[in-house]
Homo-oligomer: A and B are copies of this chain.
Amino acid sequence: MSRDDTPYKTYLAEDELPCAWYNMRADMAQKPAPLLNPATLEPVTAEELERVFCTELVKQELDDTTPYVPIPDEVMRFYRMFRPSPLVRAYFLEKALGTPARIYYKFEGNNTSGSHKLNSAVAQAYYAKKQGLKGVTTETGAGQWGTALSMACAFFGLDCQVYMVKCSYEQKPFRREVMRTYGARVTPSPSMLTEAGRRINAEHPGTTGSLGCAISEAVEAAVSQEGYRYVLGSVLAQVLLHQSIIGLEAKAAFDKIGDSPDVVIGCAGGGSNLGGLIAPFMGEKLRGECDRRFVAVEPASCPSFTRGRYAYDFCDTAKVCPLQKMYTLGSGFMPSANHAGGLRYHGMSATLSELYSQKAMEAVAVEQTSVFEAARMFARTEGILPAPESSHAIRATIDEALRCKSEGREECILFGLTGTGYFDMTAYQKFNDGEMSDTVPTDAELEANFAQLPKV
């Protein structure tokens, strides 16, 4: 097709919105490995999971054969509040790079949670409400997930208890305040409200927390309160299922304008955005209908795919969650300071891990100063100030577009612009002031953590 006749932004009409989520696992010949009970090391049962998670969500978690799951009407109603998100043609960025590549991004940041996280938060809150629960507990790192869940719980009238990694709680008071405006109770983690928190505080006085630790607290809070369950914003297969709305909408928009991506790029923390964005495109590849590349982008400071091990590991610090086979840096891995809080998790989605191990997907690790250079260029050309997490995908996209330029190839690149950076200005300030640095773990550090992997 001609390079210049696609619209700047493509919005689906409301009656063109996908009405079912797509379960990528259904098309995988080799399925992701099952979750294991941390006590018995046997595959975890639905009954065991239902003590922690909502019943319907457990069903979705364990179902790796049903390809399409209808989106409930009440979730569709909420989706219409902030969806469809636009598929944007990055004409300005293309011009600035002088690339023959066509660059598109699916922009998920135009909602008050500031990211794609709302897609799964709505679904999870809906199922919790439908089950008759009083409320849900969760953890949040950078705060996008906690904000999204607060919004969803306010809508469905559920109590929302958020354990927020202490350093984020302190560095991002405004994110906390958005959650409070939506009625959530936000507690800095590790707290003194849970056994897990008290133990971590005793063992590591003055610690500013970690996602793994906040997960432990939130799970404990869920199982110790009547009428509560725990919900999680990434990593799990159910989350990727809900997030498939990103890719499904993107694919429908591409079909509408008559284009199709050769490369799909997304940042990868736990995998919620990447798994959702690539879903239908990967489905085509898995079914042998077409070939294309998929690129996961992770921070060099937390390189789960590019330097991790594919092994069973714990998802949380207190080791109360099921074990998952995934690319991992070890549950004790503490990433160095990095401003992409949403990408600082030691593990990775089991589905994506399996796809990566099958070489259906590639991965690159990028350093944060080069990420912020890309972010600034994108902000100035495309007019959107991106979240640090999303900017990892921008970095890789620019690199791919420059490769296309040097090779003279007119490829079509799609990347996920997961969110906006309005609550990340401390990071931008560091970058603007020239005070941002890069650190990567040493091989010795990684080996020490690998040595602690559970023997399964």
Question: Which segment of A271-279, A283-291, A355-363, A376-384 sits at the interface?
Answer: A376-384
A423 interface residue (CB < 8 Å to B): yes
Q: State in angstroms the CA–CA spacing of A124 and B182 once bound together.
A: 38
Within 8 A of B (CB), among A73-122: 78, 80-82, 92, 110-112, 114
Within 8 A of B (CB), among A423-442: 423, 425-426, 428-429, 432
Q: State in angstroms the CA–CA spacing of A376 and B151 once bound together.
A: 11
A181 lies within 8 A of B428 (CB): yes
Q: Which residues of B contact A429 (CB under 8 A)?
A: 173, 177, 180
B432 lies within 8 A of A181 (CB): yes
User: In chain B, what residue has the closest Cβ to A153?
Assistant: B380
* Contact A181-B112, Cβ < 8 Å, known A8-B80, A92-B81: no
A36 interface residue (CB < 8 Å to B): no
User: In chain B, what residue has the closest Cβ to A14?
Assistant: B7
Q: State in angstroms the CA–CA spacing of A385 and B112 once bound together.
A: 6
B432 lies within 8 A of A177 (CB): yes
Give the shortest distance, in Å, between A17 (CB) and chain B (any CB).
10
Q: Which residues of B contact A13 (CB under 8 A)?
A: 7
Chain A interface residue count, Cβ-Cβ cutoff 8 angstroms: 42
Q: State in angstroms the CA–CA spacing of A173 and B381 once bound together.
A: 23
* Contact A380-B174, Cβ < 8 Å, known A11-B11, A181-B432, A385-B112: no
Say whether chain A's binding surface is mostly helix, strand, loop, or mixed: helix
Q: Pick the residue among B11, B173, B181, B379 that contacts A379 (CB under 8 A).
A: B181
Give the shortest distance, in Å, between A356 (CB) and chain B (any CB).
33
Q: State in angstroms the CA–CA spacing of A429 and B13 once bound together.
A: 37
Among A13, A380, A381, chain B packs the most CB atoms within 10 A around the CB of A380
* Contact A180-B432, Cβ < 8 Å, known A8-B80, A11-B11, A174-B422: yes
* Contact A82-B376, Cβ < 8 Å, known A420-B112, A425-B177: no
User: In chain B, what residue has the closest Cβ to A433?
Assistant: B180
B81 lies within 8 A of A8 (CB): yes
Q: State in angstroms the CA–CA spacing of A382 and B112 once bound together.
A: 10
Q: State in angstroms the CA–CA spacing of A373 and B252 once bound together.
A: 39
* Contact A384-B112, Cβ < 8 Å, known A92-B81, A182-B379: yes
A81 lies within 8 A of B155 (CB): no
A183 interface residue (CB < 8 Å to B): yes
Q: State in angstroms the CA–CA spacing of A435 and B19 once bound together.
A: 44
A154 interface residue (CB < 8 Å to B): yes
Q: Which residues of B contact A92 (CB under 8 A)?
A: 81
B173 lies within 8 A of A81 (CB): no
A178 interface residue (CB < 8 Å to B): yes
Q: Which residues of B contact A180 (CB under 8 A)?
A: 428-429, 432
User: In chain B, what residue has the closest Cβ to A385?
Assistant: B112
Closest 8 CB pairs of A and B: A174-B425, A177-B425, A8-B80, A422-B422, A154-B380, A112-B385, A81-B383, A177-B429
Show the binding face of A for B, using Cβ within 8 Å: 7-9, 11, 13-14, 78, 80-82, 92, 110-112, 114, 151, 154-155, 173-174, 177-178, 180-183, 376, 379-385, 420, 422-423, 425-426, 428-429, 432
